Amino acid sequence: MSTLAAQQQALLEALLAWPADDAMQKIAAHAIDPRARGLKAYQANGHALAERALQAAYPVVAQLLGDESFADLARALWHAEPPVRGDIACWGESLAAWAQTSAQLQDEPYLPDVARAEWALHQCAGAPDRAADLATLALLTTEDPAQLHLVLAPGCAVVRSAWPVASILGAHLEASPSLEEAGAHLRAGVAQDAVVWRAGWRPRVRLALVGEAEVLRRLLDGATLAQALEAQDSANALDFGQWLPMAVQTGLVLAVQAADT
């Protein structure tokens, strides 16, 4: 390895070194200036970039933790799971898994699921667009459901949780329900499934209806309409007749497609 390459590699390792006290030792052996002036400035810029990137993807997690704790979290994740792609907006997906095993966050056991839902919203915003074709809904009256697929909105995802994730996100992002109501659900340990999708250009999240999460999960896995509905628990089945008009009106269902197309 050339001297320049060794210096560049040492600088990269030093920028990501954690704890920070190890950084000077990593770079000293290769640096032209053994004091490595400017290294702290590079690290500070990296930390600030990490905070901004995570703030954009996880605004609710940031509110729940507070500025100082969220900044610490961003810096820790930056060093534990550094970016591997040039687009910093793609970084941060591992936050939920990282929070799941973080000893510092064990008192906030709902945070990983909140993070999963927020990452789904973040991904939803950049999902490829698809136009609605509502005329195809007529296929539901003429064709066998075993031969039909529902076309769902861009970025559609389901987050199943033992915690009230839909209420927490709704309270912080849209003030509905209230923070007091969301807090009451959290203290009561209410389990909720959240549906994420994009209506037009706007990412949306709401509480799943009874049976909806499982039906959507199967549809997203490629099941036909009949397969998705027949696999339901009869005691907690989705009322398809009630759900479909709402799903079409809110942009969750865009079209119906024959299974062989």
Tell me the domain boundaries of the chain.
3-109, 124-258
Taking only the tens place, the pLDDT of each residue in 71-105 is 888 888 888 877 776 677 788 899 999 888 888 88
Count other C-beta atoms under 10 Å from residue 31's C-beta. Answer: 18
- Output the pLDDT for position 39: 47
State yes or no: pLDDT of 4 exceeds 80.
Answer: no
pTM score: 0.81
- How do strand 192-199 and strand 202-207 relate by DSSP bridges? antiparallel
Segment 183-193 shows an average pLDDT of 96
- Going along 136-235, which residue ranges are E strands? 148-152, 157-161, 192-199, 202-207
Residues 115-128: pLDDT tens digits? 999 999 999 998 99
Say whether pLDDT at 28 is over 60.
no
Evaluate whether 92 touches 76 at the Cβ level (below 8 Å).
no
pLDDT band at 27, cuts 50/70/90? very low
Helix, strand, coil percentages in the chain from 3-state DSSP, rounded to 5: 55, 10, 30
Q: Given this model, what pLDDT does residue 14 score?
A: 55
Q: Output the six-digit token pair for 122.
A: 């973040």
Q: Which of 224, 229, 230 is nearest to 260 (CA)?
A: 224
Going by the DSSP 8-state scheme, the letter that residue 196 receives in this structure is E
Q: What is the dihedral of CA 205, 209, 212, 216, to 10 degrees?
A: -10
Reduced to 3 states (helix: H, G, I; strand: E, B; else coil), residue 156 is: coil
pLDDT at 12 over 70: no
